[in-house]
Amino acid sequence: MQKFQTEIEVRYAETDMMGVVYHANYLIWAEVARTHLVEQVGFSWPEMERRGIVSPVLNVNFNFKKAAHYGDRVTATVWVAEYNGFRVTYAYEFHNQEGELLCEGTTHHVLAEAGTLKPIRMDRRLPELHARYLQIRQES
Question: Would you name the residues annotated as active-site residues?
Answer: 16
CB-based burial, 33-63: b 16+ in 10 Å, e otherwise: bbebbbeebeeeeeebeeeebbbeeeeeebe
Q: 84, exposed or middle or buried, with CB in 10 Å at 0-12, 13-18, 19+?
A: exposed
Strands 57-64 and 101-113: antiparallel
For residue 83, which amino acid is it?
Y
